[in-house]
Structure 1
Amino acid sequence: MEKATIKGIPYGVARFDEVRNENFYYVDKTMYLPLLENTSKYLFLIRPRRFGKSMFVSMMQEYYDIAKADRFDTLFDGLWIKEHPTALKNAFQVIYFDFSLAGAGMERLEYTFNDYCCAELDSFIKQYKDFYDETTFSKVLAEKDAASKLRLINAEARRKKYLLYLIIDEYDNFTNVILSEGGKEVFRNLTHASGFYREYFKIFKAMFSRVFLIGVSPVTLDDLSSGYNIDWNISQDPQFNYMLGFSESDVREMFLYYKSAGKLRPDADIEAMLAEMKPWYNNYCFAEECMDDERLYNCDMVLYYLRYQVSRGCPPKEMVDKNIRTDYKKLKMLADIDKGNQRENRMSVIEEIAATGSIVINLKTSFPAEYVTDDNNFRSLLYYYGLLTMKRSLGRR
């Protein structure tokens, strides 16, 4: 293998086009696109941080975007979907939001959210300028309210029968900030009644042919459901258990690739590396039906470990990547919730986990913010944040 052709390690890279154009290693997940299409037009998926969510939705954006049809052969060459394209390939105008970029705190919350959405919608109308008349184009750019921009785009797209696809990455990040910094009452005001965040989801419900929302927390899902009630939650669907994250087969194939390319030591023992990583990065499971199957690895952790082995010929001294650690505000929020859950003569949930190594959960698919302190809801929240995983079932729920 020539040195110039060796694929880079995509540690910290979250854009599919960057991975494909700059020759990074890519674990093919394109075979899940037909499954998603056949499941529902409106999908929710919850996974822990650093599990490949942004990479996956970036791949979806490239696949479905009508403006990128001329790049399909280049971007998807050698991948499963290249030989098995669906009828919806490059059939949509795509609106893509990453709500982790929509504000950094409680100060001027509504303004920063609106400002971010306006910027993305301006980019959208410029991207698809040839599809819209000059009047619509000018009105969208002149409008200062993001909801109004959406309505203008929706009206013209409906008139011309354009298909619109909404993809939102980190859809719950915005409300996680509210919940951790402002508390449950502020959160409720923004996601109920006439709260501005909930109003956006009312527009989304009527506007898009297909919607894919992905994030970490099930809290927002429940609080927005009455304003957005056409969703299908696939978070525990067994056919999507391996859609994000790396299987052990994926990791082994990746490490063997870098060993054959001469990037790992000639005497590198891949099986020993897998055994070393397992206690730290493995053991994730997202569907009860898959508990006896191969467990999943956290993507970020695997790439972090591999980068050390390639660059230094040894594992990292700190096996946990600092970039994946739960941020302090979120950790404080969880600790405060747990403290509020304590009963007389009873350990907190976190104390129980530390003492016994496991805990019994009736896993909730969603719950309102005001009930996040309930025992099963809080335990479920730890699972969705990636701090717990499925071990075994104690019977039918």
Structure 2
Amino acid sequence: MKKLPVGIQSFVEIRTENYYYVDKTPFVKKLVDEGKYFFLSRPRRFGKSLFLDTLRQAFLGKRELFQGLFLEENWDWSQKYPVVYISFGAGVHRSVDELQNTFQEIFLEHEKFYQVKLTYPSIKGRFKELIEVLVEKHNQKAVVLIDEYDKPILDNIHKPELAAEIREELKNFYSVLKDADPYLKFCFLTGVTKFSKVSIFSGLNNLEDITISPDYAAICGYTQEEFENTFA
């Protein structure tokens, strides 16, 4: 018998450690066919991180993880893309300094994974440099996936002044995405709060919010039919 994927956020773990999995890969194909910049808001523990990791493995070209799933025969596996994966889900950011440390750790992880060296001094500049260096090295446009984009703000929602400072830091960071457009293949961001309410992506005016789109209603979580078929 397969195991129940309670709290598992890794697509790789689910597919290699004998867990039940509801096939959400048709949404991967649909997103890429229909656009480039997407935003999805869902409550915590709703499967956002798992779906983001599914996107990451698809763009990295890990076909072996998709055996028997919709995407196996409906994806161009000859194309592999460098993926910038950013998550603010772990831990609590109690200051601007802690947020900046997280940025630095994210860049170090990508430097190690892709065997590149970043030299720009500013966080904003290093984010832009990372995208451009990966595009040049792999001769492919980059994919940017951002999980829990708003968590550092929500960590400090009880401290309005600090929350506002952190929001401005994030706004400056995310502003890179607009200028990086020529280097990007695809961009997907998730969070709990709607971005229009946080005013954090003012420069990224082509971000499509699929939060309440009927076409993407089942992108996370389970429908009744999926529940009955997979977990019978």
Structure number with the bigger relative contact order (C-alpha 8 A, sep ≥ 6) is: 2
Q: Deviations over 1:187-239 (max 9, x none)?
A: 34443xxx221111111222233210011111566411313222011111111
Residue 249, structure 1, aligned to residue 225, structure 2: yes
Aligned to 1:127: 113
One of 95, 101, 104 as aligned partner of 2:92: 104
Confirm or deny: 8 A CA contact 1:118 1:145 kept in the other structure: no
One of 190, 209, 221 as aligned partner of 1:214: 190
TM-score, normalised with respect to structure 2: 0.88
Cα distance in 2 for residues equivalent to 1:150 and 1:28: 32
Cα distance in 2 for residues equivalent to 1:231 and 1:27: 27
Aligned to 1:91: 80
Q: Deviations over 1:26-85 (max 9, x none)?
A: 0100011121112321100111222111111111110112xxx3x41x211111111221
| Structure 1 unaligned regions, length at least 5 | 1-5, 130-136, 257-397
One of 21, 28, 34 as aligned partner of 1:26: 21
| AA matched with 1:44 | F
One of 12, 15, 34 as aligned partner of 2:7: 12
Cα distance in 2 for residues equivalent to 1:219 and 1:81: 29
SS in 2 for 1:118: helix
Structure with greater helix percent: 1
The alpha-carbon deviation at position 149 of structure 1 amounts to 2.3
Cα distance in 2 for residues equivalent to 1:88 and 1:255: 30
Count of residues paired in the alignment: 228
Confirm or deny: 8 A CA contact 2:87 2:146 kept in the other structure: yes
Residue 163, structure 1, aligned to residue 141, structure 2: yes
Aligned to 1:79: 69
Cα distance in 1 for residues equivalent to 2:164 and 2:114: 36
| Structure 2 unaligned regions, length at least 5 | none
The alpha-carbon deviation at position 150 of structure 1 amounts to 1.7
| C-alpha distance 113-80 of structure 1, shift in aligned 2 (>3 A) | same
| AA matched with 1:197 | L
Residue 198, structure 1, aligned to residue 193, structure 2: no
Aligned to 1:232: 208
CA RMSD of aligned residues (A): 2.3
Cα distance in 2 for residues equivalent to 1:10 and 1:225: 33
| Rg (Cα) greater in structure | 1
Cα distance in 2 for residues equivalent to 1:30 and 1:89: 18
TM-score, normalised with respect to structure 1: 0.53
| AA matched with 2:153 | T
SS in 2 for 1:123: helix
| C-alpha distance 38-247 of structure 1, shift in aligned 2 (>3 A) | same
One of 115, 121, 129 as aligned partner of 1:152: 129
| AA matched with 1:8 | K
Cα distance in 1 for residues equivalent to 2:228 and 2:132: 50
Confirm or deny: 8 A CA contact 2:93 2:99 kept in the other structure: no
Aligned to 2:100: 114
Cα distance in 2 for residues equivalent to 1:62 and 1:222: 30
Q: State the percentage of identical aligned residues.
A: 25
What stretches of structure 1 move > 4 A for 4+ residues in a row?
A: 142-145, 157-161, 219-222
Cα distance in 2 for residues equivalent to 1:156 and 1:242: 36
| C-alpha distance 124-239 of structure 1, shift in aligned 2 (>3 A) | same
Cα distance in 1 for residues equivalent to 2:205 and 2:197: 10
Q: Deviations over 1:106-135 (max 9, x none)?
A: 3xx222222222222222222222xxxxxx
The alpha-carbon deviation at position 146 of structure 1 amounts to 3.3
| AA matched with 1:152 | E
